[in-house]
Amino acid sequence: MPPLESGTPHDPQNILVVDDEQQVCDILAEALTFMGHTVRVAKDGLEALQVMEKFSFDIVVTDMDMPRMDGMELIRHLVTDRNAIDIIAITGHSMKYKYTDVVAAGAADFITKPFTLNELEAKLNRLIRERHLRRELERLATRDALTGLYNRRFFQRVVRSEAIRATRYLHPLFLFFVDIDRFKDFNDQTGHQAGDDLLVKLADVFRGSLREDVDTAFRYGGDEFTVLLPHLPAEQASVVAERLRRNFKELQFAPTSLSIGIGRFLSRSESIDLDVEDMIRRADMALYHAKHHLGRDCFFFDPESVG
């Protein structure tokens, strides 16, 4: 397992500066750019939300007193809809906005005008270290230690959120259940270290065969894996399944192969959780059919998923 890393203050961040004073925006943007960060600016909270529809940010540095949407309202929006973004609040009215109130609203830190750029840089560096630490702790909690793929516990979180998104936007969502055929025979013949090497290579196959930042692979347990594929029609799901099967076959870990059961999310009850359980059950049954009725080394769609 990789060592715990807290990151360094020099890691570049995508930063949005929000202030209705153009001069302040210009000074902060120039200073933060000089520190190595990528910076964009907005004149108030409403413009900031519009900018965030087009670009992604790690950190928002925002004034508190602004027209149309002030800093406190912006902070509440970000905490609700974009909680991965950290916020540093800036104000020249220290009596109007208390540190405890701003932090309670969701800001990571608070700085009062006038301030030096050294003071801002110190707070920013601390925030970057904390972001890295949180990310590493989350990685340790959600990743399988051997393969580096997401684990079963994280699958339970992601499958529900993807199902909610598929229901809301009416796009298809497919689930693959993937099993390594004759994995026990392989372990018995070559030893458990070779079995571990095979699992690591299979994880690489997933990474190389799926859409980056769209599809997600998980180690479900032992030699069984799952894959979530949103925004994909059934014919393309077939292409991906065949690609996985073929790419693993090329590694020549005889006598192993891949069997894949495929189920589509169907919203047909009043409960997302029941519909997710139904998709998992149908994909698992499709995998059983592929292994025990079609002779392994193939994929099979749950019949309800293509009807």
Q: Which residues are catalytic?
A: 223
Q: For residue 183, count CB atoms less than 10 angstroms from its CB and return exposed for 0-12, middle for 13-18, buried for 19 or more.
A: buried
Query: Which residues are CB-contacts of 96 (< 8 A; sequence separation ≥ 6)?
Result: 64, 65
Using CA atoms, how far apart are residues 201 and 65, in angstroms rounded to an integer?
A: 54
Nearest to 91 by CA among 68, 116, 62, 120: 62
Among the listed residues 211, 186, 189, the one whose alpha carbon sits nearest the alpha carbon of residue 201: 186
Calpha distance 282→159 (Å, rounded):
14
| Residues paired with 175 in a beta bridge | 228, 263
Contact status, residue 107 vs residue 75, Cβ threshold 8 Å? yes
Question: Exposed (0-12), middle (13-18) or buried (19+): which is 130, by Cβ within 10 Å?
Answer: middle
Count CB neighbours of 10 within 10 A: 9
Asked if 177 and 260 count as a contact pair (C-beta separation under 8 A), the reply is yes
Token pair recorded at residue 106: 């969701």
Tokens for 304? 């309800």
Beta bridge partners of 221: 224
Non-local CB neighbours of 100 within 8 Å, separated by 6+ positions: none
For residues 247 and 208, give the distance between their C-alpha atoms in angstroms, rounded to a whole number. Answer: 9
- Residue 70's CB is within 10 A of a number of other CB atoms, namely 18
